[in-house]
Amino acid sequence: MLSRRTFIKAGLLGGIALGAGGVWYGATRESAPAGHLPGSTRAMFAAITPVILAGSLDEGNGPVERVVDGVERAVAGLSAAAQSELGELFGLLGFYPARLLLTGIGDWRLATRAEIEAFLDGWRLHRIALMQGAYAALHDLVLGAWYAQPESWETIGYPGPPEVK
Amino acid sequence: MTIRDPMGDGIAAGWKVLDASLPDAPRALEADVVIVGSGAGGGIAAEILTAAGLEVILVEEGPLKSTRDFRMREAEAYPHLYQESAARKTRDKAINILQGRCVGGSTTVNWASSFRTPASTLAFWRERFGLADYTPEALQPWFEMVERRLNIGPWQRAPNTNNTLMRTGATTLGIPVGEIRRNVRDCWNLGYCGMGCPTGAKQSMLVTTIPSALGRGAMLIHRLRAERLVTAGTRIDALECVAMEADGVHPRPIRWTLRARHFVLAAGAIGTPALLLRSKLPDPHGLTGARTFLHPTVVAAGRFAKAVHGHAGAPQSLYSDHFLEQLPIDGPLGFKLEVPPLHPVLFSTTLQGFGDEHAASMREFTHTHAQLALLRDGFHPQSHGGRVALRADGTPLLDYPLNEPIWEAAARALLAMAEIQFAAGALSVQAVHEQCRGYTSWPQAKEGIARLPMKPLLTRVVSAHVMGGAAMGASEATGLTAPDGTLRGVDNVSVFDGSVFPTSIGANPQLSVYAVAARNASILTSRMTGKPAPPLA
Ligand SMILES: Cc1cc2nc3c(=O)[nH]c(=O)nc-3n(C[C@H](O)[C@H](O)[C@H](O)COP(=O)(O)OP(=O)(O)OC[C@H]3O[C@@H](n4cnc5c(N)ncnc54)[C@H](O)[C@@H]3O)c2cc1C
Ligand code: SF4
């Protein structure tokens, strides 16, 4: 688990990095075809999805993949400005030094649930608004992508839309 | 039961409807009047102008979707029908804004609640903004005309459980509750108004004024974004537009030029001021985009032993103005209480937290009753609302700092809603706030809510009511637009949408937009034709 101090430090540096438009990591940023997320971003979502949806999502990779696909579709529908801001955030989270600094996580595939929870909780209540906003974006994208899918509805008793004929 | 799809039928019959995402060549067109935006204000204006025989082109940034396209799925509705996929945010991301972006504008996705502009709001406008003609008596014929046109009347069915629980709790506490009138005809009571009405029952612009304008020969161009007005002296000569890709996100490198004798701006609050800012028109007092109001809204969710099914049934049928009427209009902010429809995506993303905590709340989805408190912004001396600015790509961004008067009212509102929910028998109540873990009794909630820090991004704040930014006023110093909606400083532009309001409305705004647009479009029509304007159908 990360200590509170690490977060404060990371937040400060992270704030600067995000605020500067992420110029310094730009060179290493992966690109992906329009409407798709780079592999490193998909890996990040694949890691945080089971944590954000703990208690709702069944174990197994199938639903996680479908949530990540849903995130990809949702991002493609956002404004160009929001997509480019998210691109910066995803770029940072896919770039090892920035990720380590901001989240304490080295490799998404090796991160434990506790580590991911700690980073999400740290951002959620962070004193820097940028970090809180970044948490909110991850929160909305993952939850929205899951609860948009009929397979999630049975877990909450939602019968789905009625038939209109 | 009836299903109405006048747009689908009309297109089959050869109405002039163009989709700008298709052609690959630039276009130039001309009409008497070009209307930007096909929502509440644009729709009403289109019907009145065409009824007087004027030739109209209606420009809409969003796509044309109508009755038969609406499948009641959030995954389709938000990206197709809403600005920024229903995720439009203020600059600091502390407020999520819902606005329509499709033919029919926000009326295609709104919840059908219909209130006349409160008399106290009009009195404030007369006193502070010199809008002397805005009395309830003078506006009455306009309200009556649009109420007739849109079949606005009492809701004939029983309120759903989500609404009833608010009444149960409020009544127990001696808080009066009123019934909401709705603009529906043969409503199936489904509850999916926010995803486009699949039966055509909701009397949005999509099934009323726009079909009637198109039936009279108007042209509708959708997926076309109005970019800037081009001046020639004190006149606007043309409107430059850019075609949008079918995804609704990216502009295409294809420009359209539209010429007209008169230009009506009805791109909605945020949208209209943004168009004016891009056009760089004279604005000596810096009023463009200033004083944009939102009815900042806070949310409380109560869990009940019995099933609520907040997704089903007319979304809003009951309200309480008790907390609007307690204090002077320019004192601590009052708030209107209503309930929202509960659908999985909107609810899960609004709800705080993640993991087991969030999943546990979601398991209670069908047993959840939620309330909204709409804060009346723009009257308190420190409630200045927000300001619209442009991003580098020319798209708008609203900066709305949430300040002390808002937070003071937000805390009061969360308390009021929790008390009502417990009085209605809630097993537990959650204030939608990152630090609230839920309360199991009113005393616990009372103490807990008082300790929640009222801060941006901790307290969830949302809005579906964007108003102002091109306010009417009697003087040049207070009104970017004159009391009849004409834009000051140029000869041939009018603003007929929610951006002309000098404060928030203090009630759901659609009927205010309709009535003021009907009044001002009629004044314009008689000026252009030399004859009295014909009434709405
Ligand atoms: C989910 C939701 C629920 C609501 N529920 C209610 C309710 O129950 N009762 C109520 O009274 N009010 C409700 N409202 C609010 C109400 O619908 C709006 O206040 C009203 O429709 C505003 O009218 P308008 O003409 O100002 O703008 P809109 O109706 O929003 O129309 C503006 C149109 O302009 C288009 N546009 C914007 N920029 C451009 C551009 N550059 N070029 C071309 N087109 C452009 C937009 O795409 C949009 O279609 C709700 C709103 C939402 C989003
Ligand atoms: S409740 Fe709303 S969506 Fe359903 S039929 Fe009535 S107006 Fe249409």
Give B80-114 pLDDT, tens digit per residue.
999 999 999 999 999 999 999 999 999 999 999 99
B30, β-bridge pairs = B259
Residue A131 structure tokens: 């970090």
Ordered alpha helix ranges (H), B230-343? 271-279, 322-325
Residue B191 lies in a domain: no
Mean pLDDT within B131-151: 98
Residue A100 lies in a domain: yes
Rounded distance, CA B107 to CA B126, Å?
Answer: 28
> pLDDT higher for B20 or A17?
B20
A79 to chain B: nearest residue by CA? Answer: B84
Residue B460 lies in a domain: no
Q: What is the pLDDT of residue A62?
A: 85
Give how many domains chain B has, as a whole number: 2
Residue A12 lies in a domain: no
Is residue A61's pLDDT more than 80?
no
CB contacts, 8 Å: B99 with chain A: none
Q: Could you tell me if the CB of B314 is within 6 A of ligand 2?
A: yes
Q: Could you tell me if the CB of B201 is within 6 A of ligand 2?
A: yes
Give how many domains chain A has, as a whole number: 1
Residue A160 lies in a domain: no
**How high is the mean pLDDT of chain A?**
86
Residue B220 lies in a domain: yes
For chain A, what is the largest distance between any 2 Cα atoms, rounded to a whole number of angstroms?
60
Q: What is the CATH number of the domain that holds B415?
A: 3.30.410
Strands B297-303 and B368-375: antiparallel
Asked whether residue B213 falls in the same domain as residue B248, the answer is yes
Region at B438 (left for phi over 0; alpha for psi -120 to 50; beta for the rest): left
B89, β-bridge pairs = B96
Asked whether residue B143 falls in the same domain as residue B41, the answer is yes
**Phi then psi for A62, rounded to 5 degrees?**
-55, -60
Q: Could you tell me if the CB of B379 is within 6 A of ligand 2?
A: no
Asked whether residue B285 falls in the same domain as residue B302, the answer is no
Cβ atoms B243, B251 nearer than 8 A: yes
Residue B445 lies in a domain: yes
Residue B258 structure tokens: 């539209």
Q: What is the pLDDT of residue A59?
A: 72
* Other Cβ atoms closer than 10 A to B392: 6
Asked whether residue B330 falls in the same domain as residue B372, the answer is yes
Asked whether residue B305 falls in the same domain as residue B286, the answer is no
Residue B244 lies in a domain: yes
Q: Which residue type sits at B337?
A: L
Region at B112 (left for phi over 0; alpha for psi -120 to 50; beta for the rest): left
Asked whether residue B282 falls in the same domain as residue B342, the answer is no
- The range of the structural domain enclosing residue B97 comes to 18-150+203-291+468-529
Residue B427 lies in a domain: yes
- The range of the structural domain enclosing residue A77 comes to 35-150
Rounded distance, CA B101 to CA B536, Å?
Answer: 24
Residue B194 lies in a domain: no
Q: What is the CATH number of the domain that holds B274?
A: 3.50.50.60
Number of H helices, E strands in chain B: 15, 24
* Residue B87, SS3 per DSSP: coil
- % chain B with pLDDT above 70: 100
Q: What is the pLDDT of residue B152?
A: 98
pLDDT band at A29 (very low <50, low <70, confident <90, very high): low
Rounded distance, CA B277 to CA B288, Å?
Answer: 7
What ligand is nearest to the CA atom of residue B265? 1
Contact A156 B366 (CB under 8 A): yes
Cβ atoms B225, B61 nearer than 8 A: yes
Range with the poorest average pLDDT among A6-20, A112-126, B170-184: A6-20
**Which of the listed residues B455, B481, B499 is the one where a domain comes to its end?**
B455
Rounded distance, CA B430 to CA B368, Å?
Answer: 10
CB contacts, 8 Å: A149 with chain B: 75
Asked whether residue B214 falls in the same domain as residue B143, the answer is yes
Nearest in space to B18 (alpha carbons), one of B67, B59, B50 = B59
Mean pLDDT within B158-182: 98
Residue A128 lies in a domain: yes
- A15 has a chain B CB within 8 A of its CB: no
- A132 has a chain B CB within 8 A of its CB: yes
Q: What is the pLDDT of residue B169?
A: 98
Residue A105 lies in a domain: yes
What ligand is nearest to the CA atom of residue B339? 1
Ligand 1, CB within 6 Å, residue ranges? B 36-42, 59-62, 98-102, 105-107, 109-113, 194, 225-226, 266-269, 271, 275, 316, 464-465, 497-498, 508-511, 513
Residue B505 lies in a domain: yes
Residue A104 lies in a domain: yes
**How high is the mean pLDDT of chain B?**
97
What ligand is nearest to the CA atom of residue B189? 2
- A136 has a chain B CB within 8 A of its CB: yes
Q: What share of chain A is helix, strand, coil (3-state, %, to 5)?
A: 70, 0, 30
> How far is the alpha carbon of B471 from chain A, nearest alpha carbon, in Å?
27
Residue A18 lies in a domain: no
Burial class of residue B305 in the structure, from the number of CB atoms within 10 Å of its CB (0-12 exposed, 13-18 middle, 19+ buried): exposed
Asked whether residue B258 falls in the same domain as residue B332, the answer is no
| Distance (Å) of CA B417 to CA B186, B237, B309, B402, B406 | 32, 52, 19, 20, 16
CB contacts, 8 Å: B308 with chain A: none
> How far is the alpha carbon of B457 from chain A, nearest alpha carbon, in Å?
7
Is residue A27's pLDDT more than 90?
no
CB contacts, 8 Å: A80 with chain B: 249-250, 393, 395
Is residue A10's pLDDT more than 80?
no
- % chain B with pLDDT above 90: 99
